[in-house]
């Protein structure tokens, strides 16, 4: 049998590809620079190919090196899955778990979820990564995170998904706004020229546009915000009105702003909260346990009545 690369050697190569610097790659692998450099040299000798171009100014991978990095990521992820499978069989939802969450869910759902989650699974070490949906799904497919908490609709390709419930939109406006009078707001009653939304890239923007049946090109783009608190402040400063998820309103987002929230008419769509993970993961049982805890807090329709 021909000798095979070790997981450590492949990990060194992947780290070098990501950091393009021997010192930073070594630090990421908790190794010395000389140890990482020697490990990569051993890998090149083992395969009898050149993987890394070394110079005083920069570090580059050869085309073959890039191809092997792509395969190495798969091998390393599969090796981690083997260890996770064995560990999970002994104590579900224990050890490290990397959860990605979008900014329009994390600050409003997790503070309520994490205390009972820690109580039910005290050995779980939860590492959180907040980012936009597209980047989280990329990180999930690359194996950089284990599971992601997102809002639908969004293209998830072949990822496994567990629906956690629905989160309706409500209109946020000043109390002296004509829309603040009366009961539920019909979508047609919201002036397009007054509607403020998050900046492009946030799925909540697309959900709100879809809820109001507006084309992105037709919506005003002179004011943009990258977070819900900023959006709320823009409304408080008489720049318009906005649509907010009820989850955020229930968490106290409007507190101290003087703004009021109004429910939308019954035919208005709501965003769907979902947990997604790779179909190849051995931790499906664990992620369903996690979904059970999240689902008891994620569906805000019952509190909208």
Q: Say what the pLDDT of residue 296 is.
A: 84
CB 15 within 8 A of CB 29: yes
pLDDT at 98 over 50: yes
Mean pLDDT score across all residues of the chain: 86
- Average of per-residue pLDDT across 262-276: 85
The model's confidence at residue 281, banded by pLDDT at 50, 70 and 90, is confident
DSSP per-residue letters across the chain:
------HHHHHHHHHHHHHSSHHHHHHHTTS-HHHHHHHHHHHHHHHTS--EEE-SS-EEE-HHHHHHHHHHHHHHHHHHHHHHHHHHHHSSS-EEEEEEE-TTTHHHHHHHHHHHHHHH-TTEEEEEEE--HHHHHHHHHHTSSSEEEEEES---TT-EEEEEEEEEEEEEE-TTSGGGSSSSBPGGGS-GGGEE-BPTT-HHHHHHHHHTT--GGGS--SS-BSSHHHHHHHHHTTS-EEEEEHHHHHTTTTTTT--EEEEBPTTS-EEEEEEEE-TT-S-HHHHHHHHHHHHHHH--SGGG-
pLDDT at 29 over 90: yes
User: Domain residue spans in the chain?
Assistant: 7-87, 94-305
The model's confidence at residue 305, banded by pLDDT at 50, 70 and 90, is very low
The model's confidence at residue 202, banded by pLDDT at 50, 70 and 90, is low
Q: Say what the pLDDT of residue 227 is.
A: 84
Higher confidence at residue 223 or residue 6? 6
The model's confidence at residue 201, banded by pLDDT at 50, 70 and 90, is low
How is residue 202 written in tokens?
A: 């946030």
The model's confidence at residue 26, banded by pLDDT at 50, 70 and 90, is very high
How is residue 259 written in tokens?
A: 């703004």
pLDDT at 302 over 60: no
CATH of 7-87, one of 1.10.10.10, 2.40.110.10, 1.10.3720.10, 3.30.70.1350: 1.10.10.10
Q: Say what the pLDDT of residue 206 is.
A: 72
- Positive or negative, the CA dihedral 178, 180, 183, 184 is positive
pLDDT at 51 over 50: yes
Q: Say what the pLDDT of residue 260 is.
A: 93
CB 228 within 8 A of CB 257: no
Higher confidence at residue 195 or residue 164? 164
- Average of per-residue pLDDT across 32-55: 91
Q: Say what the pLDDT of residue 218 is.
A: 53
Higher confidence at residue 27 or residue 267? 27
136-190: per-residue pLDDT in tens? 999 998 888 999 999 888 888 889 999 999 988 898 999 999 888 888 888 788 8
d(CA 33, CA 38): 8
How is residue 269 written in tokens?
A: 């769509």
Residue closest to 245 by CA, chosen among 253, 233, 235: 253
pLDDT at 99 over 80: yes
Q: Say what the pLDDT of residue 78 is.
A: 83
pLDDT at 239 over 70: yes
The distance between the two most distant Cα atoms of the chain, rounded to a whole number of Å, is: 79
CATH of 94-305, one of 3.30.1330.30, 3.40.190.10, 1.10.630.10, 3.40.190.290: 3.40.190.290
Q: Say what the pLDDT of residue 200 is.
A: 60
How is residue 12 written in tokens?
A: 């060194």
Q: Say what the pLDDT of residue 214 is.
A: 59
The model's confidence at residue 81, banded by pLDDT at 50, 70 and 90, is confident
Range from 75-89, 247-261, 276-290 carrying the lowest mean pLDDT: 75-89
């Amino acid at each position: 049998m021909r000798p095979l690369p070790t997981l450590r050697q492949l990990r060194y190569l992947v780290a070098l590809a990501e950091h393009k610097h021997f010192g930073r790659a070594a630090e990421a692998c908790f190794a010395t620079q000389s140890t990482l450099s020697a490990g990569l040299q051993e890998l090149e000798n083992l395969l009898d190919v050149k993987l890394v171009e070394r110079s005083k100014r920069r570090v580059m991978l050869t085309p073959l090196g890039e191809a092997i990095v792509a395969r190495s990521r798969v091998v390393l992820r599969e090796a981690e899955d083997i260890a996770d499978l064995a560990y999970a069989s002994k104590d579900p939802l224990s050890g490290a778990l990397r959860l990605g969450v979008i900014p329009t869910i994390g600050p409003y759902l997790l503070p309520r979820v994490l205390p009972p989650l820690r109580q039910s699974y005290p050995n779980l070490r939860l590492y959180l990564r907040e980012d936009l949906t597209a980047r989280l799904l990329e990180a999930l497919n690359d194996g950089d995170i284990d599971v992601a908490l997102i809002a639908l609709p969004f293209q998830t390709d072949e990822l496994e998904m567990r629906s956690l419930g629905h989160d309706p939109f409500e209109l946020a406006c000043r109390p002296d706004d004509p829309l603040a009078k009366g009961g539920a707001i019909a979508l047609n009653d919201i002036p397009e020229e007054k509607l403020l939304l998050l900046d492009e890239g946030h799925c909540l923007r697309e959900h709100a546009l879809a809820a109001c049946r507006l084309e992105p090109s037709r919506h005003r783009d002179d004011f943009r915000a990258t977070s819900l608190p900023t959006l709320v402040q823009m409304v408080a400063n008489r720049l318009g009105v906005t649509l907010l998820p009820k989850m955020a309103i229930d968490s106290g987002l409007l507190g101290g702003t003087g703004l009021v929230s109004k429910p939308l008419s019954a035919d208005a769509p709501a965003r769907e909260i979902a947990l997604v993970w790779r179909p190849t993961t051995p931790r499906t049982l664990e992620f369903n346990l996690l979904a059970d805890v999240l689902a008891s807090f994620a569906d805000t329709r019952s509190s909208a009545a």
